[in-house]
Amino acid sequence: MNNKSIWITGASSGIGKALALKFAKEGWRVAISARRDNLLNEISQSNENIIPFPLDVTDSEKCKSVFENIKKKIGEIDISVFCTGIHDPKSEKSLNLEKVKKIMEVNFFGTVNSINSVYDYYKIRKSGHISIVSSVAGYRGLPAAGAYCASKSALSSFAESLYFDLKRFNVRVSLVSPGFIKTPMTDKNDFPMPMIKSPEFAANQMFKGLTKNKGFEIHFPKSFTSIMKILKVMPNGLYFKIIEKGMKKIVD
């Protein structure tokens, strides 16, 4: 084990779980958080470097108290990765106000609650790293994903603003923008997902981006995210035509 430590939220499954296992394998002390404490306990039992700290990120005060507990048990936290996210593609095919509010509450405000719990710590420490897991879905509005795209777009913009705020204090802020990754969340999608990758692939890419590179955005797989970046800057009329054509192919 080295002397480095990381806190990962949304770590009970998917990308968060794979990332926790990757960092633990590399000798880091890993604090993991999520609502499902039974799954956290299962993960921690598989590796002595992983310690569970159950948390519902929508509770801002709980975020603060859990982080204080993490510091007491583990010590200094070098990187905080906020990976919590939900999506309900079935409900997004029509406007469901309660679902929209829930997705924003968890994906955006839950992440902001988590950031708020570590903000002063890193600012005073004048070192450290906050990483926000967004998605290429935050680049542009996609069909049947209005709330999800909006929540990820909000996170991406928030991360950019936070970058300026914390750079003055020698604190790194990074943004993670994955393409399609096979997780319990994407398993709900009922359409073909191009260039989909495993959670382990995502974890390896994130580990390199978080520990070896210094750039702001960590995005993968490059073959897919490069296409999405082109769509991001494309004029609206052309973008809409391309996406509508793609939708017809899926429906047909």
Q: Which are the catalytic amino acids?
A: 148
Half-sphere exposure of 107 (CA within 13 A, CB side): 26
- 169 vs 126: CA distance, rounded Å: 5
**Residue 75 backbone zone (phi > 0: left; psi -120 to 50: alpha; other: beta):** left
The percent helix, strand, coil of the chain (3-state, each to 5) is 55, 15, 30
- 246 vs 41: CA distance, rounded Å: 42
Asked if 217 and 193 touch (Cβ cutoff 8 Å), the reply is no
Asked if 43 and 18 touch (Cβ cutoff 8 Å), the reply is no
- 161 vs 227: CA distance, rounded Å: 25
